Amino acid sequence: MATYVLVHGAGDAFYWHLTEPRLRALGHDVIAPQLPMADDTAGFAEYADTVVEAIGDRRDLVVVAQSLGGFTGPLVCARVQVDLLVLVCAMTPKPGESAGEWWDATGQDRAMREYAESQGRVMGEYPDVRRDFFHDVPADVTEAVFAQPEPRMSDAVWAKPWPLEAWPAVPTRFLAGRHDRMFPLEFQRRIVPQRLGIEPDVIDTGHLPALARPDEFVARLEEYRTGGKTP
């Protein structure tokens, strides 16, 4: 059995509330630490500190990093022995690039707006959280998430350069959402090979597969862990 290390994105660890029990039911150990998002002094190095401390002396690690967690997951892999890194609808940083710089560097905004236009949607100035993140999440799950206290996120994390000099030498898989409105599939099919040298796999969800299709999501993680093939 493995230890799954679940790294949330720009939100909180409640994102994993459907994933954790499913993995535990399969006999795995699971940790899903809350990152210090509200700390005005914390950058990704401090986020990684939190995860590494939660890992302790556990072994057989599978790190799963969602969205903004793509900046934190590799830092963890550079500090502890990890068997597999799974990036989920994630941002993929370059050495020295801040999370704030990533958007313009990758052309994310244009890709997001072109995708919206192709579907006849009007984006507005900013994405709408319910419309653009939760559009395929069941209503009861959406309401459970929005019933949680709204997480505060410091702006500090966006400015600090990603501290690694190179991507860690750990087996890595990337799972992209076919209907992701934030990081569209064709965008990920361009960025992931450029930056990681691998092709993304696809799950039939939007940006939040762990909430939209938790059973299928966990099955994908297990296929990755055991070396099974995915579509």
- Does any domain span residue 127? yes
Q: Kindly report the number of other CB atoms within 10 A of residue 214's CB atom.
A: 19
Question: By residue range, what is the domain housing residue 46?
Answer: 3-226
Contact predicate 175/205, CB 8 Å: no
Confidence at residue 231, expressed as pLDDT on a 0 to 100 scale: 38
Mean pLDDT in residue range 121-131? 87
pTM here?
Answer: 0.96
195 token code pair:
């930056």
Calculate the average pLDDT of the chain. 95
pLDDT tens track for 154-168 = 988 999 899 999 999
C-alpha angle 151-3-136 in degrees, rounded to nearest 5: 45
CATH of the domain at 90: 3.40.50.1820
231 is a domain residue: no
Q: How many domains does the chain have?
A: 1
**Residue type for 141, please?**
V
With 90 as the cut, is the pLDDT of residue 229 above it? no
pLDDT beyond 90 at 219: yes
Whether 193 is in a domain gets the answer: yes
Task: Tell me the HSE value of 81 on the side-chain side, using a 13 A CA sphere.
Answer: 5
Confidence class for position 230, pLDDT limits 50, 70, 90:
very low
Residue 157 resides in a domain = yes
Condensed to tens digits (0 to 9), the pLDDT of residues 55-107 reads 999 999 999 999 999 999 999 999 999 999 999 999 999 999 999 999 999 99
